[in-house]
Amino acid sequence: MRKRVLAGFLALFALWFVAKALPWFDQGRPAVYATPTIQPYEPGLLVPVTIKGGQTACTDKIPWGPDARYVQFTLTGAKWPASPLTLVASGPGYRAVARQPAGTPGDALQTLPITPATKNMTNGTLCITNDGRHQVMVYGIAQGRGSGPSTTTVDGKPLPQELSITLLTHRSQSIGARLGTIASHIAAFRPLTGWMVWILGLLAVLGVPLAVGVALARAVAEDEAVAPGRDEDAQPSARA
């Protein structure tokens, strides 16, 4: 009986893992490289940055690197089809150009591919130039409300808000494909190696359900061992 309980519990866990956990690991999500300034999702935090025709908005302290392959931002409040934009990523010994065509719908994330830098840097710059006649607005956030250390300027004039920028490594990548990178990132903040993080993760995923199954099986075995004694104790009272 004890072995059947343990086997049944582990079988149920395996079915749950296949039905729920594996699809979650396989689901594609943007692989974030860095968030120099956050993307605010609460309306109260939104402070759009206006870029008129011919103007250029720039944000400094951008951490470019070999894994920063996409730039993500959000256009908002467009009264006309959005103007074409030119995006320039630059830093010491690095320059990459990307273009956003006209007519892009507003209030939607825009993701532009860029040529990645060959080395990591923290003092890069991102500039967005409005190549059209009509103004565009890009999601921003007020300084001091979850903002980063970056400063945003429009044609060289500092603004009290920051452009909301996210750097991606991949547009969409499954959690399963990123397990190695995730383990390395966790190890960077703790006195562990990537392999130690992997071992701890396996122990958590496999060891916990195994321990619960063993505990249930032992509880059933103890009940079975006590049950005969209870029957014998109950017989005299029945005769009486």
% the chain with pLDDT above 70: 51
pLDDT of 215 higher than 80: no
Report, as an integer, the average pLDDT of 18-23.
58
Residues near 215 by beta carbon (within 8 Å), at least 6 away in sequence: none
CA separation for the pair 195, 32 (Å, rounded): 22
pLDDT of 70 higher than 80: yes
Report, as an integer, the average pLDDT of 61-72.
94
pLDDT of 214 higher than 70: no
Strand partners, 57: 128, 154
CA separation for the pair 100, 116 (Å, rounded): 17
pLDDT of 149 higher than 90: no
Residues near 206 by beta carbon (within 8 Å), at least 6 away in sequence: none
pLDDT of 240 higher than 50: no
CA separation for the pair 104, 195 (Å, rounded): 45
- Give the pLDDT score at 79: 64
- Give the pLDDT score at 15: 61
Residues near 18 by beta carbon (within 8 Å), at least 6 away in sequence: none
Structure confidence by residue, pLDDT tens digits, 164-188: 899 998 876 555 555 555 545 554 4
- Give the pLDDT score at 86: 96
CA separation for the pair 162, 140 (Å, rounded): 5
Structure confidence by residue, pLDDT tens digits, 113-147: 999 999 999 999 999 999 998 888 998 888 765 55
Segments in the chain forming alpha helices (H): 2-16, 22-26, 179-188, 194-202, 208-239
